[in-house]
Structure 1
Amino acid sequence: MLNLSYNEMSNAWNNLDEVEDSRPVFKNDLVLSWKQLSVTVKKKTPRLFGASKVVYKKILSNVSGNVECGTLLGIMGPSGSGKTTLMATISHRTKGNFKGELFLNGRPVSERVMIKISGFVAQEDISFDKLTAFEQLNFMAKFKMDRFANEKVIQGRINYLVKNLGLSTFLYTRLDFLSGGERKKIALAVQLLNDPPILFCDEITTGLDSYSATHIINTLRKVAYSGKIVICTIHQPASGIFDKFHEVVLLTNGRLAYQGPVSLVNELFKKYNYVCPNTYNKADFIISILNSNDTQDKYNVDEMCNLSSTVSQMNMKYNLFNKDVQFEYEHHLESIKPLWITQLLFLLYRSVLCFIRNYKNKLLEFGIFMYLAVITAIPYSNLKFDTKAVQNWQGFWFCLVINSIFHASYGAMYAHNENFSIVHREISNKLYSLSAYYVAEIIIMVIWATIQTLAYSILVFWVVGVKWVYLQLFILVLILLTARSYGSLMSAFFADIEKAITVSLAYDYFSLPLSGAYISFGSLPKLLVYFKYLSLFYLGCESLSIVQWEKVNSIPCIDSHSCLDNGQAVLNHYGFVSENLYMDIVILLIITIIANILAYFGILLRIKKQPPY
């Protein structure tokens, strides 16, 4: 008869009983150790007057531990006990400084080595959700696996994970249509693509139903049985899941209460007269004691922490784990990442794919731009060509340039923040270089901006009746690219769009009056006149005006008292110099290049400062 009790079902999943009865023999070649880890964070509270108030909070205090390959280790504790901080620290995925030592096989391990030798499944799964599950696995395999691996090897690895993780039912479904549990399975599969010897999982069962959580933990047990180190943070695991871990680390208020086999946890608590009722969830029982406000419970937990954190106890455990480990681990570092140009091509293809599948938003963006073209052009439709219309023509060019710059620059201020978290994690995990990603994004931006601007310009010119030349189209495309680059620069340095807009407004208030539409340059001090070359509005207005009026030899003169009878007279009237045309174009190009270079370093600075998890 079929036994439907929960534990029997969970143990039977994927024939796990057979695996446990015949545990394979593997070479014990990796031991990860951490000694006396302490992590302190600094928090600043702004004050209206005076310096900000600085508060230091200790997240981890003197925590030590060891784990060897073939082990599924759980890190458990109440909320705020330091579980995620401990795992982020021992996995070298944190940007903060910590005190203490990290060892791999008894030798200090660097951030570069740890990131290359391990996988990290984050609690919050973020990815380019316009991709299907298969596309995500395929792209990540190209980046994570050795660049000499052929397509057959890559697809073989993907097929193996699809089968063992049960991904086949949603393999060709887009990520934004998947449930939380399905996305966690994909995230786990991504980290297993290159078969890392160490795997970190941050609360991988959180948000899953009990059956899905059990499936994930059973899968991680299989990974551990294959000779890997698997470390998970767990928060209130369901009944039966807690016992599936080989060892557990118990934390409370940033201190170590216990590390050892799960089977001996009850013995520890019995020493302090705590006995878990048979019908009670063991994990919930442990958490309730660690998080208790009772005076006696606090005293007992403090005693546990003191016993676990003595120097002699830490050294004894460290020596016990590391005494027989003499193997080198360089063979785990032999994988070679793709060439830069290959990274660029993969990233460009991914960006194009996501761009196309985001067609609804892109069509909306294009429609708004065309609407802007219509409302800009209608007041100037069918302009005549005489002296009375000179002001209207100049008003049209000023309005066209100003509206275009505002729309392009402020529209680009979210550019790098939209996918920053995803890219930050992928670059921090050394999947590809920031420069390859950035160049791919610039290529997409230039192509899309050029298509938009050409359609926008031709529509505006047709409504107004401009007898345009290709140079005008080129200048307008350049103006919008420069404006987008400026908005991109703001986006790169400011995660908060409100701050980006505030800084941008300061520039706009300064540069807009220098456009030539509102002030006579002859009345300005000479020093201030040179600042006009930093104004996108001035560079755009002058260059387009020169192309419009430079070759106009005569204008029908209706009012003889105020007659601008040729193009040069019009340019002189507005303070524009026809010889400056190509200089303006070069300055716009220089500003575009400098803005994009600075934006690159702005993103790089944020990546170095902010933790990816």
Structure 2
Amino acid sequence: MVKINDKNNVARIMDDCKIHMEESEKLLEPEKSRNVQMCIEFNDLCYSVLYNGQKTEKAILHNVTGYFEWRKVTVIIGPSGAGKTTLLKIISGKRLTDIKGSITINGVERNKGTFRKQVCYVPQQLALLPFLTTRETLYIAARLKLDINQNEEAICSIVNDIAETLSLSNCLDTLANKLSGGEQKRLSIGVEIIAKPSILLLDEPTSGLDSVASYQLVNTLHNMSRANCTVICAIHQPSSQIISLFDDIMVLSQGRSMYCGPKSEILKTYNVAGFTCPNFYNIAEFVLEVITEQRGGDLENLYKICRDECEKFKLHSRHNKNKLNSSIDSKQKCETNDTSTLINNIIQEKSTWQQQKILFLRALIYIKRDTVLTKIRFMTHIGVALILGIVFYNFGDNAEKVNSNIACLFFFLLFLFFVNAERTVQTFPIEAAVFLKEHLNNWYSLRSYYSVKIITDLVMQILCTSAFVFISYYMTGQPMEYDRILKTWSICLLIMMLGQTIGIIAGTTFGTELGMFLISATHIPLLLFAGFFTKIEEMSPYLQPLCVISYFRYAFEGIMQAIYLDRPKLKCLEIYCHLRSPSKILSMTDMPTVPFYVIPIILSSWILCLHAVHYIVLHWKIYYAKK
């Protein structure tokens, strides 16, 4: 009986191991076709931009016609300004407005929503979170892009496999901001190819890489194409060794297509137009010399011949595709043609909660590593609180030093607002660039990202505000009553959140330099309407409405009420102290004008409105990135 049970246990363990291995192999097997077969055709694409004060129109693409075949690697070459990046953005769906022409997928007009789920675009500009290691960056990408139910071992195996493929194994534990330019480029590509997209578009993937790394990368892309992926690369001038790995080639010059078809046929086509390539000459260099008019000849005639040849190549490609489809049984054919259904089966979109859990893990790692965000920020608040405590030591209960104590309370607000506004305006633009890249490549939704951003920011806001308020409040001798401490803490927390939100909006909208200037230029004048420098009633009637909309005014009044409202008389060592009575202190500053409970509501409303503005700004950034 025991032997039978042992045999059953062994059999069960073997079955579990077999299931585990099958799950891992299913993810790791490079040759297994898990993608939709997609052939892209585009006809007469035109795109123009306005400049010189929106008066002059400049054509970026002019009647560009071509195609990208399934399971092939296509290289787009051309001089700077030829329109390579613009074409990639239009094909990928990152640019959707002001475009003329047609784009079809497998002979059917492109469905933008469905298509974007299967396409991945890797831009030329790098966008990586600097305080995540290579391993963590790849791991988070795998968690966001792969099936949420995959076990930890399988995901780690994928990370190691991608790192080995892109020669990143020796820097898995290196922070992204410590990587070389080439390593950062390979990492930015690695996070996108984890999910093996059906269509992969890369803008200058070999820039910043040496010849060996470039060849390895293009060879990896070549292998991906054979595993059921359409790969398109825009490369300025590939070497002979690299160009040998490409199947098709497209040539752009001044927004026009000067060839699109098999690499093996380009020299024949150019020869028909009167351009003969010398023996043992780099094809890319020869083509660039022709289209930049370094070799004599009729480029208009070349353009017409190439356009006619492109149509022939497209017809031949469709004929081959039809023959391939006819050899597939009816069930497979149905699955292949029903692209929308297949995509829904392959890509299981994660819920908002699942995305939030992964993004929250990344945010915690980032907070722990970012010394400016955590350690320096926290220590700065403690350091300034100690300085305030030393300068204004025990001023809070001294009737002779009321004016100085009021200045101390106003400084609370100034410090918390401007320090946090300027910090975020310097750090958030990097994070915003990463968000745009990841969101446009369908990693997660804006709602998931923004909710996690607010929650993780709130943790640091509470810690820093608490450290600052409790130290400075105690050392400056303010009344040690729980309700007054809580009221002061709440006002300081709200003004800190306001400053951080203003900084995020300025950094997202205007960038670091202009954002820093605008925060100072707009908010320093706004301090004049806070009621500290002059009474509100003494201002011109035309300026008094500005006090109503100034959040500094409500924050200042809130902290004054928290300290002085309904409080016993202050200590006075002199025979007579005019400001010994807290009611006189408040009347001197024309307070209170509103009940205290209204002030947190007003400040919270400002914060909600500003977050709504920032949410709209991010939507606008997404729209502008597509445009």
Asked if Structure 1 and Structure 2 have the same fold, meaning a TM-score greater than 0.5 normalized by the shorter chain, the answer is: yes
Q: How does 1:438-449 map to 2 (within 5 A)?
A: 438-449=450-461
Please name the residue that 2:170 is paired with.
169
After superposition, what is the alpha-carbon deviation per residue over 1:260-291, rounded to whole angstroms, capped at 9, x for unaligned? 22222222233345443345433212212221
Residues 313-342 of structure 1 deviation map (CA, whole Å, 9 limit, x = unaligned): 655444433354464123134311211011
| Equivalent residue for 1:455, pick from 456, 467, 472 | 467
- When residues 363 and 555 of structure 1 are mapped into structure 2, their CA distance, relative to the original with a 3 A threshold, is closer
Identity %: 23
Q: Secondary structure at the match of 1:35?
A: strand
Which residue is equivalent to 1:6? Answer: none
CA deviation after TM superposition for structure 1 residue 35, in Å: 0.9
Residue pair 1:102, 1:108 contacting (<8 A) in 2 also: yes
Contact 1:492–1:600 (Cα < 8 Å) also in 2: no
Q: What is the deviation of 1:605?
A: 1.3
Tell me if the contact between 2:564 and 2:582 (Cα under 8 Å) persists in the aligned partners. Answer: yes
**Which residue identity lines up with residue 577 of structure 1 in the other structure?**
P
Q: CA deviation at 1:488?
A: 2.7
Partner of 2:302: 304
Q: What TM-score do you get using the length of structure 1 for normalisation?
A: 0.86
> For 1:475-486, what aligned pairs fall within 5 Å after superposition?
475-486=491-502
1:341 to 353, 356, 372: 353
Residue of structure 2 in register with 1:332 after alignment: 343
The verdict on how the C-alpha distance between 1:172 and 1:406 changes in structure 2, with shifts beyond 3 A counting, is closer
Secondary structure of the 2:148 match is coil
Q: Does 1:389 align with 2:401?
A: yes
1:538-560 Cα deviation digits (max 9, x unpaired): 22221221122223233456788
- C-alpha separation between the residues in 2 aligned to 1:173 and 1:539? 47
Are the aligned partners of 2:396 and 2:476 in contact in 1 as well (CA < 8 Å)? no
Match of 2:362, SS state, is: helix
Q: Distance in 2 between matches of 1:492 and 1:187?
A: 22
For 2:122, the equivalent position in structure 1 comes to 121
**2:381 corresponds to:** 369
How has the CA–CA distance of structure 1 residues 163 and 553 changed in structure 2, closer, same or farther, with 3 Å as cutoff?
A: closer
Farther-moved stretch of structure 1 (481-490 vs 156-165): 156-165
Residue 130 of structure 1: SS of its match in structure 2?
coil
d(CA) in 1 for partners of 2:101, 2:150? 38
C-alpha contact 1:197 1:332 (8 A) present in aligned 2 = no
Equivalent position of 1:514 in the other structure = 529
Report the secondary structure of 2:258's partner residue: strand
**2-structure distance, mates of 1:259, 1:533:** 64
Distance in 2, matches of 1:125 and 1:487, equals: 23
CA distance in 1, matches of 2:606, 2:35: 58
CA distance in 2, matches of 1:170, 1:398: 49
1-side partners of 2:392 and 2:551: how far apart?
Answer: 23
> What's 1:534 paired with?
549
Question: Is structure 2 residue 42 aligned with structure 1 residue 34?
Answer: yes
Alignment of 1:227-376 (within 5 A): 227-293=228-294, 296-297=296-297, 299=298, 301-309=299-307, 315-323=311-319, 324-325=321-322, 327-328=336-337, 329-330=339-340, 331-334=342-345, 335-359=347-371, 362-376=374-388
* In 2, Cα distance between equivalents of 1:578 and 1:508: 23
- Cα pair 2:261 2:310 within 8 Å, conserved: no
Which position in structure 2 is the counterpart of 1:10?
Answer: none
Superposed counterparts of 1:372-451, under 5 Å: 372-383=384-395, 385-451=397-463
Deviating above 6 A after TM superposition, structure 1's stretches of 4 or more consecutive aligned residues are 23-28, 557-562
Q: Match of 1:69?
A: 70
The DSSP-based 3-state class of the residue aligned with 1:124 is coil
CA contact (8 A) 2:400 2:579 kept: no
Structure 1: gaps spanning 5 or more residues: 1-22, 46-51
How many pairs were matched up? 577
Contact 1:119/1:196 (<8 A) preserved? yes
Conserved? CA contact 1:387–1:559, under 8 Å: no
**Distance in 1 (alpha carbons) for counterparts of 2:130 and 2:523:** 36
Ranges in structure 2 where 5+ consecutive residues have no aligned partner = 1-30, 326-335
8 Å CA contact retained: 2:425, 2:511: no
The more displaced of 209-218 and 365-374 is 365-374
Worse overlay, 34-43 or 390-399: 390-399
The aligned counterpart of 1:112 is 113
Matched-pair contact (CA < 8 Å) for 1:380–1:396: yes
Q: Deviations over 1:204-247 (max 9, x none)?
A: 12222212211122222212222321111122112222122111
Paired residue secondary structure (1:232): strand
CA distance in 1, matches of 2:105, 2:196: 18
Report Cα offsets for 1:441-485 as digits up to 9, x if no partner: 212222112211222223323432223443222322222222322
SS of corresponding position for 1:241? helix
Report how far residue 159 of structure 1 moved.
4.4
In 2 relative to 1, CA 308–268 (structure 1 residues): closer, same or farther, beyond 3 Å?
closer
User: What is the match of residue 97 of structure 1?
Assistant: 98
Counterpart contact for 1:553–1:566, Cα < 8 Å: yes
Q: Structure 2 matches for 1:214-229, cutoff 5 A?
A: 214-229=215-230
Q: Distance in 2 between matches of 1:198 and 1:161?
A: 18
What corresponds to 2:579 in structure 1?
564
1-structure distance, mates of 2:32, 2:562? 78
Counterpart CA distance in 1 for 2:222 and 2:148 is 29
RMSD between aligned residues: 3.0
Deviation at 1:25, TM superposition (A): 11
Distance 1:164 1:400 in 2: 54
Matches of 1:388 and 1:447, distance apart in 2: 38
